[in-house]
Each structure stands twice: as C-alpha cells, then as structure tokens.
Amino acid sequence: MIHQIPCFEFHDVSFAWHGERVILERQSFSLPQGAFVLIRGPSGGGKSTLLRLMNRLEEVETGEISYLGQNLTDWHPSELRQQVAYLQQTPVISDRSVRDILLQPFSFRINREKTKPSDQILQQLLGKVQMKDIGLDDPGAVLSGGQRQRLSLLRTLLTGPNVLLLDEPTSSLDSESRRCVLELVEELNRQGTTIVMITHDTFLPNHVPVMKITIDQGRVFVCR
Amino acid sequence: MPLTTGALDISAAELALASLFIVAAGAISLWGRIGLGKPILMGAVRCVLQLTIMGYVLSFIFGIASPWVVLLLFCVMVAFAVRIVRGNVSEKSIPFVFPSFVTMLLVYTVVTGIVSGLIVGVRPFWHPQYFIPLAGMVAGNSMTALGLSLDRLLSDLKAKRDLVEMQLCLGATPVEASQDIFRDALKAGMIPSVNSLAGVGLVFLPGMMTGQILSGEDPMLAIRYQIVVMFMLVASTALTVSLVLGIVRQRCFSPGRQLLLRSNRPQ
C-alpha cells in the first residue's frame, strides 16, 4: 500500500564533489513509500552519491532531502541510518566469525534493546542466499567475494530497516546466487520495505511495480 | 674508586672534540649516499644554539623566584612540542593544535606538580631547578608518542573509511565506529614508553640518572629519581595521548556523523 507522505523527497538539491564535479544540479523528485526503485546511469554519474545523500553520509550543498516528511538534518543520524540502511558496493567484512559479523549491529548502543536473532534464524537466513554450507563459526576471511556480498546484505537486514539502499548488491554473484538475492529483496519489498537499488543488470522484479531513475550530468530522470 | 663531587667541567676545546661524532655521522651519510649530511649539520647547530639559549634562560630563571616566569617558560616549551607534533602528523585537514596544546599543558603541569611537590617534596613545587627539568622530560617523551598516535589515528581513519562508514550505516556512533582504530592508535603511542620500562637499567641508563651520577650523586639516590621519572613518563604519555586522541577523533566527524577525512577520490 502506497502512503501519502513520500518516503524521500528531494527539493532543489545540488551536490558536487570538491565543488567541481557536479552530481546533482537543483533536482527535485520524490520516492513513494514501499516503492521498488531501480537506479541506472553511466559509470561515475553519481548513483552511489545519491544513495549516500539519502543516508546522510554526504550533505547536500543546496536544497533539502526529507525522509517521511522530515528534513534529514532533523533526524538523529544513528536513528536515520537505522531506518534507512545503506549497503556499500564493496562489502566490508572482518576476520571475525560469520556469527559475529552478522550480529555486529547489535553491539551498538542504538540496537542493544533489540532481540538478537538465534543461531537457527541466522542459519536459515544464510540458506536463503545460497550459503547454507557456511558455518556460523567460520571466519569471514575464508569467504569468497560473492559470499561476502551476501553476508553484508544479511547483516544490513537484521535490524529491520524500513528502507534499503543497495549499491550493486549482486555485482560479484553468479546467476543462481543473484536470483536468490533478488528474490529476497523482492520479498522484502512485498512486506513493505522501500527498496532503492543501483544495478547494471537488466533485472526487473517480477511481482512488484518498479520505478526507474536515471542520473546523468547532474539531472535525475524518473520513470514510473 | 671514590665518587667525584660535582661534574667535571667540559672546556670549549673538549666540546669541539665532541663535534667529531657529528663529523662521523656525516661521513656515514656521505658514504651511504643517504643525503642526511645537511640535516645532521643543521641539527647539530640547532642543538648547540638551543641548548646554549636554554642554559642562559635557566640560569636567569633560577635567579628569579617567580611561578609565572616558570609557567611562561613551560608554555613556550609546550608550544614548541606541539609544533614538532604537528610536523610529524601527515594529515593536515583536521585541526588539532589548540586542543593538543591545552591538554599537554594541563596534564604536564599536574603530573610534574605531583612529582615535584608530593613525591620529591620540593617547596615550592614550581621550584625551577626541579620543575623545569622534570616538565621538560615529560614534554619531550610524550610529544613523540603523541605524534605517533595522532598520525596513526588520522591515517587509519582515512585508509579505513569504508569500515568506519559501514559501522555508521549500521547505527554506530562515531566513537563506536572508530573504536578499534582508536585503540590501535592509543597502543601505538603507549608502547614505546611501556617498553622503556622493561629496558631501563638493562639496555640503557636514562639521561636523568646519568646526569646525576656524573655530577657525583649516590647511584642509589639517582635510581630512585629515575624510577619516579619513568613512572611519571608512562602516566603522562597515557593521559596526554588518550585525551588528545579523544578530542581529535571527535573533530574527525561532522555533527551529522559523517567522517570528514577522505581521500581525493570521489565515490
């Protein structure tokens, strides 16, 4: 169900790297709640930067971005990032055990009161992304690039964010793993999670309507 | 062999003889083609000039019974220490000079005051004959540690930006997101002073003890002073490094909890 307050609203937003390379130039658009948004565009065009702005890892130069009707700057940064989870393009996985890696968000004060998932649930989640042969005690160091990417995605999901900002979540995956991950992401969207995903794939979700965004030379083109 | 009372004088000619050590170091630089000849020469000249000036200043200050003069000289010493620390830190985008100066001044004053006033029992505690040399040792030792740890903190935060941002994105505060990096930087700063605790007396005889023995003091008294000094150095290093690292770490993050250190490569 699409609610009236947009999930994100960009109003006259401009951003440039080091004041020179323009990523966005006075752009205004909105993303509805519960949407499945695909972002495409030329390499270096600013797709990742757009996600970083939504997660407030970068600040806009002019204009404002709102999440659920409230300016991003009015949100407590940790609370915003809890609700609007960003998955980096290159997964960052430590040498600790798979269990410790997955449960890392629960070591932070903002998540301490949440119930940690049990080993059984963690193992089930690993199964959903074709990693059922990976043990929870296995060190992160032995995982392949594709396994790290999937593990990173699961870690991001565990605190139950409302929005998932995914930066090429399947770039290191084979076709079977890619299919599993995209099915998982679709399932989350059907349950109400807003998905904003960068992908170079020709992927289109099967069962949910898609909103397509292209970024090029400072302009955002929205196709609903 | 009986102890001599008072240090033996070193004449100008004998001092000039000591400069042969500098010539030897310069010759090795030349032979190894490592290009350190000029820095060695400049360093030696600075060493002579600075120590000579300090000798005259100390002689002057010892004659004036004023805590403010002692404090002024101490502020100048700390200012130079901060300047040296700044030169040792390659990352220049995060301002740390003022908080470093204030923290170093406060910590060194308190630690030195405790040693001179409480442990050694000097009255007044700021007596320049004790306060200045002790404070100078504290400043000299911990400034090296501070430079090391600051450089480590800032370069690691920059190099491990992805790691820090990953944790920020999972809801971590800046302190939580940088905790491992902070610990590594703190350890890097403290390890040299901790190691010197283990090596002193076996690997090397430290300067204060050496100076006292040369001037005819009983070695058993000299070692007591040295033990106090070693403990003082470890504590002052730990305090200074942890406080300054904490302040500088905070400055590395914006109010929106973004890491301000970045490479020049945009994402």
pLDDT tens string, chain A, 224 residues long: the values are 445 899 999 999 999 988 788 889 999 999 999 999 999 988 888 999 999 999 999 999 999 999 999 999 999 999 999 999 999 999 999 999 999 999 999 999 999 889 999 999 999 999 999 999 999 999 999 999 999 999 999 999 998 999 999 999 988 888 888 888 999 999 999 999 999 999 887 777 777 788 999 998 889 999 87
A86 and B264: CB-CB below 8 Å?
Answer: no
Confidence (pLDDT) at A27: 94
More confident residue, B155 or B60: B155
Q: What CA–CA distance (Å, rounded) separates B182 from B177?
A: 10
Q: What CA–CA distance (Å, rounded) separates B181 from B162?
A: 13
Is the confidence at residue B2, as pLDDT, over 80?
A: no
Q: Assign B62 to helix, strand or coil.
A: helix
- Can you read off the two tokens belonging to residue A139? 């060190």
Q: What CA–CA distance (Å, rounded) separates B136 from B233?
A: 11
CB nearest to B169's CB, from A81, A107, A110 = A81
CB nearest to A59's CB, from B170, B176, B256 = B256
List CB contacts (< 8 A) between B176 and chain A.
Answer: 107-109
For B205-251, the pLDDT digits (tens) are 677 777 777 777 788 887 888 888 888 889 999 999 999 999 999 99
Chain A nearest CA to B174, separation (Å): 10
Confidence (pLDDT) at B79: 93
Q: What CA–CA distance (Å, rounded) separates B24 from A128?
A: 70
More confident residue, B225 or B27: B27
∠ at Cα A111 (B186, B247), nearest 5°?
Answer: 30
List CB contacts (< 8 A) between A59 and chain B.
Answer: 254, 256, 258
A49 and B267: CB-CB below 8 Å?
Answer: yes
- Can you read off the two tokens belonging to residue B135? 């404070």
Residues 6+ apart with CB under 8 A from B91: B151, B154, B155, B158, B261
CB nearest to B170's CB, from A59, A77, A108 = A108
Chain A nearest CA to B86, separation (Å): 25
Which residue of chain B comes nearest to A57, CA vs CA?
A: B258
Chain A nearest CA to B103, separation (Å): 29
Beta strands in B164-245 (DSSP E): none
B258 and A56: CB-CB below 8 Å?
Answer: yes
List CB contacts (< 8 A) between B258 and chain A.
Answer: 56-59
Residue B253 β-bridge partners: B259
Cis peptide before B124 (omega within 30 of 0): yes
In three-state form (DSSP H/G/I as H, E/B as E, the rest C), the secondary structure along A42-77 is: CCCCCHHHHHHHHCCCCCCCEEEEEECCEEHHHCCH
Which value does ipTM take for this structure?
A: 0.92
List CB contacts (< 8 A) between B169 and chain A.
Answer: 55, 57, 81, 85-88, 156
B40-50 mean pLDDT: 90
More confident residue, B1 or B211: B211
Confidence (pLDDT) at B1: 58
List CB contacts (< 8 A) between A156 and chain B.
Answer: 169-170
Confidence (pLDDT) at B265: 47
A57 and B162: CB-CB below 8 Å?
Answer: no
B173 and A78: CB-CB below 8 Å?
Answer: yes
Task: Let me know: does B250 contact B178? Beta carbons within 8 Å.
Answer: no
List CB contacts (< 8 A) between B170 and chain A.
Answer: 81, 85, 104-105, 108, 111, 155-156, 159
Question: In the block, which residue shows the tokens 């790691």?
Answer: B163
